[in-house]
Amino acid sequence: MSLRIVHYINQFFAQIGGEEKADIPAELREGIVGPGSAFQAAFKGEAEIVATIICGDSYFGENESKAKAEIIEMVKGQKPDLFIAGPAFNAGRYGYACGTIAKAVKEELGIPVLTGMYIENPGVDQAKNDVLIVSTKNSAAGMRDAVSKMAPLALKLAKGEPIGASIEEGYIPNGVRVNFFEKERGSQRAVNMLLKKLAGKPFTTEYPMPNFDRVEPNPAVKDLAHATIALVTSGGIVPKGNPDHIESSSASHYGKYDIEGVTDLTEATYETAHGGYDPVYANQDADRVLPVDVLRDMEKEGKIGKLHRYFYTTVGNGTAVASSAGFAAEYAQELLKDNVQAVILTST
């Protein structure tokens, strides 16, 4: 008898739609939907996806308690041996949902769970200490690679077999350390690593150091009434038509736009290029994401000196941290050169 598996996916991978369908409630479908077929093939008869649960990313995020309760009941009714969520790659809300529901299934039903995400997905830090998260590529183009790593680990979990170290099994390190015996003594391994490093060859450290991104807060602006304030956003606000073609996900560049004399970002003149949230309200009034109207009022009231002539914008949806840091390093120099005293950063 093959192992029973329940699979969780969002509206996009169920081919229901994109952001316009992100509010669909949780539903249960018998059998395989979307990427489940790749998992089914990889299980080679040892396991069967008996049901797929589909839930819109917005619905889950806006109704988390209700959605969790609904999905838990759906999973419980299937009596599975394992629950798989995703993979979510670098989709932030999808990753959050996968990590949250996987943790809930594990804790409330005592069923083994597994999910997959890109290392920079915000869902990783939220869930990695509670559930196993297989490290995937940045986008759904890495589905085959993700399934090839997730399927064998899923079978191990469902069978209750011992799980090896993260470097062996492909999951993101979760802080758990286990003693084991190495074939080579430590001094030999260290010399081998050093020789590879000196020769410019790839090597894997046995003790990766954490990278803490600590940013000291700037001192308060002493004289706001005479300060120049700039707007910067990862919410994707752009002039109508997106003239610089900023991508809706995994942005490769940012835009710089002149708002001299602009007092209101109207529906006729501005929109969002962002693909990671429902754009309706931002397109109706882009000031909801980039508050030009409010800052113009503050200018008139003398609460700030003036609003900077340009705003900078990109899309945070799936954009790598390294890319974002590179964008900031560029336009920060321009802001300093233009004697901007403070920046208001807005997101979605």
pLDDT at position 206 over 90: no
pLDDT at position 1 over 70: no
Separation between Cα atoms, residue 191 and residue 198, nearest integer Å: 10
Closest CA to 136 of 123, 122, 150: 150
195 Cβ partners below 8 Å, 6+ apart?
Answer: none
Closest CA to 8 of 45, 60, 63: 60
Separation between Cα atoms, residue 206 and residue 162, nearest integer Å: 21
If you average pLDDT over every residue of the chain, what do you get? 92
Structure confidence at residue 31 as a pLDDT band (50, 70, 90) = very high
- Phi, psi angle pair for 153, to nearest 5°: -70, -35
**pLDDT at residue 69 in the model:** 96
Average pLDDT over residues 168-176: 84
**pLDDT at residue 303 in the model:** 95
pLDDT at position 329 over 80: yes
What pLDDT, in 10s, does the model give residues 285-296? 999 999 999 999
Contact 111, 132 (CB under 8 A): no
Average pLDDT over residues 136-153: 94
CA distance readout (Å), 267 to 100, 151, 238, 270, 280: 36, 47, 11, 6, 10
Contact 33, 14 (CB under 8 A): yes
Average pLDDT over residues 112-123: 92
pLDDT at position 79 over 70: yes
What pLDDT, in 10s, does the model give residues 42-58? 999 999 999 999 999 98
pLDDT at position 131 over 80: yes
**pLDDT at residue 348 in the model:** 81
**pLDDT at residue 179 in the model:** 73
Sign, CA dihedral 145-149-152-157, equals negative
Share of the chain above pLDDT 90, in %: 70
Does domain 3-169 bear CATH number 3.40.50.2300? Answer: yes
**pLDDT at residue 247 in the model:** 86
Kindly report the pTM of this predicted structure. Answer: 0.69
Q: Structural domain boundaries of the chain? A: 3-169, 224-346
- Phi, psi angle pair for 257, to nearest 5°: -130, 140
Rg of the chain on CA atoms, in Å: 24
Structure confidence at residue 126 as a pLDDT band (50, 70, 90) = confident
**pLDDT at residue 165 in the model:** 81
Average pLDDT over residues 5-15: 96
